Amino acid sequence: MSTPVVSPVRIGRRAVGALGVLALSLGTLQSVVEPALPLLQRELGISPAEGALVANALLITGAVLAPVAGKLGDRYGGRRVLLWLMAVVSAGGLLAGTAPNLPALLVGQILQGVMVGALPLSFILVRRHLSAGESQAAIGVVLALFTGGGVIGTLVAGPIAHGLSWQWMFALPTLVIIAATVAVARLMPDDPPAASDDPIDWPGVVLLSGTLLALMVALVTVTGGDLPPLAAAAVVTAVAALATGWVVVERRASAPMVDLRMLGRPAMRSAFVLTFVMSISFGMVVLLLPQLFAAPADGYGFGLGTTQIGLLLLPGAIAGAVSDSIGGFAARRFGPRAVVVAGIAVTAVAMIGLALLHDAAWQLSVAKVLTAFAAGAGTTALLAGTASAVDARDTGIATSLLVVTRLVGVIVGAQAGGVILAAGTDAATGVPAEAAFVTGFVAAGLIAASALTLIRIRKNGVRA
């Protein structure tokens, strides 16, 4: 006798609305740090390199969880895993909202990073409880609200920080997340787990987490020059050992978190390198621009507060939000290579131009718009091109590898920008010299331009 098939329970607008509010509040929580980073550095008495750790901590968790969130939802049920993750995010937000020092804030940010799993899990839920057409509309609503939350976070970070305190930037969105999670728990029915023989690659998750954390700490401590040579060598060795261990585990795993064997394909290897290089350049921009906005106005800077910084960064946030959809369309219309080349060229020109001319706030704002749009469109074109180039059964593996690469590139770029500013900081004033910003912009431009060389080499290799 066959087991009867149980039809999934349909959900209504209230359940989709609860998912949307949750996405909106998560997007807000994710985006409050960027405009407030100079404020956090002053309040906590930390260097730009340590400030970059605050901005990167959330991304580190996201880079680790991105490839496994969907697998966890399929294995244990999307609703159950979503509630687990939101409990962790809430704990991280409350910890950051009461953090007295940098270590507590970093732990809070790391816990908040599991929010990256909310979107794929929300998509799993609406697909299982709605028809195909309805699920597409619901996915669009949830994704749009998450993006809108990013814009809101950029706007409200300053007023909240100045009207209350910087801790409330994290606490207020977290309270909304808790309320939305309760609503999801009440309105969303359980979804049955999907049978799967593939194990979750927990050793790979742990090793990648350790590698990224160790890399960030190494960039701060080793480049700071405060460590004795033997201690610096030990830190570098630890990073290399963790990275090597992760590669070995991923190559031997039956169901790896990130299938590194995909890199053996020339097209995939090229997309991986280009995504990494472009993301490094954009990560440097993300770190450098708020710092320059906040630099004292009696020198080369503008002396702006968090609210003003948020307003000037807002157009860039909007450009980044729309660039993904436009990047996919442009890749279909003109081809991924043309979109990538255009994005790289725009980024390189914008950064070199900013190194030469940065005496008006609008120049920085325009540069953020250009680089955010170029980075989003370029990496999306690479994702779209890769997804169409590989076999259908490998689409998930290939795209997850590029998503992780994109996040890691932004992490490395932001940390590198922080290190450059820290190295150029005046010990007496605690303010980076103008030359440090110029160096950072030139480095970002040259890194972006190097991707054009990579494209040229690959094209010549294909012809040969």
Strand, coil or helix: 140: helix
Nearest CA among 412, 414, 439 for reference residue 424 = 439
Question: What are the percentages of helix, strand and coil residues in the chain, rounded to 5?
Answer: 80, 0, 15
Is 7 a residue whose pLDDT tops 60?
no
Q: What is the pLDDT of residues 121-174, one digit of tens each?
A: 777 777 666 665 666 666 667 767 777 888 888 888 889 988 888 899 999 999
Q: Within 13 Å of residue 2, how many CA atoms lie on the same side as its CB?
A: 3
In the chain, what percentage of residues exceed pLDDT 70?
83
Q: Residues near 348 by Cβ (< 8 Å), separated by ≥ 6? A: 445, 446, 448, 449, 452
> Domain 9-188 has what CATH class?
mainly alpha
What is the arithmetic mean of pLDDT over 56-83? Answer: 79
CA distances from residue 285 to 138, 225, 348 in whole angstroms, order as listed: 33, 24, 11
What is the arithmetic mean of pLDDT over 184-189? Answer: 83
Token look-up 């490839």 returns 67
Is 441 a residue whose pLDDT tops 90?
yes
pLDDT at position 388, please? Answer: 63
Q: What is the pLDDT of residues 393-418, one digit of tens each?
A: 556 566 667 777 888 888 888 888 88
Q: Which of 100-109, 122-131, 377-386, 402-411 has the lowest mean pLDDT?
A: 122-131
Is 225 a residue whose pLDDT tops 60?
no
Confidence of residue 464 (pLDDT cuts 50, 70, 90): very low
pLDDT at position 153, please? Answer: 87
Q: What are phi and psi of 432, to 5 degrees?
A: -65, 145
Contact 108/93 with Cβ under 8 angstroms?
Answer: yes
pLDDT at position 88, please? Answer: 92
pLDDT at position 160, please? Answer: 92
Q: What is the pLDDT of residues 276-334, one digit of tens each?
A: 888 899 889 888 999 899 888 887 888 888 888 988 988 888 888 777 667 767 777 78
Confidence of residue 341 (pLDDT cuts 50, 70, 90): confident
**How many CB atoms are closer than 10 A to CB 348?**
22
What is the arithmetic mean of pLDDT over 380-389? Answer: 71
Domains of the chain: which residue ranges?
9-188, 202-257, 258-464
Burial of 22 per CB tally in 10 Å (0-12, 13-18, 19+)? buried
pLDDT at position 135, please? Answer: 62
Is 92 a residue whose pLDDT tops 90?
yes
Q: Is 258-464 the same fold as 9-188? A: yes
Token look-up 């940098």 returns 102
Q: Which amino acid is at 146?
A: F
What is the arithmetic mean of pLDDT over 201-219? Answer: 78
pLDDT at position 69, please? Answer: 76
Is 180 a residue whose pLDDT tops 60?
yes
**CATH T-level fold of 258-464:** Growth Hormone; Chain: A; (1.20.1250)
pLDDT at position 239, please? Answer: 83
pLDDT at position 139, please? Answer: 66
Q: What is the pLDDT of residues 357-371, one digit of tens each?
A: 888 999 999 999 999
pLDDT at position 423, please? Answer: 83
Average pLDDT, the chain: 80
- Please enumerate, as own/partner, the contacts of 158-164 that have beta carbons within 8 Å and a separation of 24 or more: 158/35, 158/36, 158/305, 158/306, 158/307, 158/308, 158/309, 158/310, 159/307, 160/32, 161/36, 161/39, 161/306, 162/305, 162/306, 162/307
Q: What is the pTM of this model?
A: 0.76
